[in-house]
Amino acid sequence: MGLYDRDYTQADFQSEHRYAPQMRLNFPRLTPVVKWLIIINVAVFIPTFLFRNTVGEFFYKWFSVFPINWQVSLQLWRIVTYQFLHDILGFGHVFMNMLILFFFGPMLERLWGSKKFLIFYLVCGAMGGLFYPILAMAGWLEVGPLVGASGSILGMLSAAAILFPNSIVLLMFVFPMRLWVLAIILAIVSIMNLFVGYNSGGEAAHLAGMAAGAAYVFSGPWREKFKVKMTAGQKWEKKMTEQRNLQIELDRILDKVHRSGIHSLSSKEKRTLKKATKAEQMRNRF
């Protein structure tokens, strides 16, 4: 059971999202993470395709998402490694995934930065790798090996459709349409295929990847607010800790002055005393 992407590519990309730069999606200059993702996917595909009965079967056995039982389903490395495996019977699966990654990946990587983009990409794929076994182990889907980067790829597509909804893409290399329309069409097709049982595992991973991509973008404002609050809280905690430490040191210094006089203080202790005096004056001023 593989993940088979739809026949679409992108051209003449233009963003109208107010938070993102204006872009055109022709033949983009590869960014670091996208370049290495393509290299790794192709490097893994070649030996599994050429030696499908040995290398291919070995990789499918140990690195695909294959919920034949709970023990195998709990081998969590599979939710990452399956993203770098593809259908070993032909080139179409890996070619379409890498083509879409080539066009959409650099745009999102430049927008978010390499580290954030890589995490996003892998998490979208991992959501597909988790959602399918849950449905399969519940008896709702047929059990089989799940491979492919499609969960990650459609997560990117979903995020791009929210960030750049009015960008123009070519369906089947011919029919131009807005990106948000294409994303909705793909989601509907995946839902329909899931219910009729066509590539159901792959469609479950598609939908989970798209949901993860959309959730990441929509939760952006909330995550930023949470980050600001956490940062402010950490700064406040650090400030309070510094004040407590300063007070402890000040008490020690004042006790030393009481016992031995001001002339017994070292240069560092005098500076600390001066700093505490100035801080106290500032508090009294306000």
- Mark the ranges of the chain whose per-residue pLDDT is less than 50: 1-25
Query: Tens digits of per-residue pLDDT, 113-161?
Result: 999 999 999 999 999 999 999 988 888 888 889 999 999 999 999 999 9
Phi, psi of 169 (to 5 degrees): -125, 165
Show the CA angle centred on residue 156, arms to residues 152 and 162, nearest 5°.
145
- pLDDT at position 25: 47
Alpha-carbon distance of 128 to 111, in angstroms, equals 24
Please state which CATH class domain 8-218 belongs to.
mainly alpha
- pLDDT at position 275: 76
- Asked if residues 67 and 133 have their Cβ atoms less than 8 Å apart, the reply is yes
Global pTM reads 0.71
What residues does each domain of the chain span? 8-218, 226-285
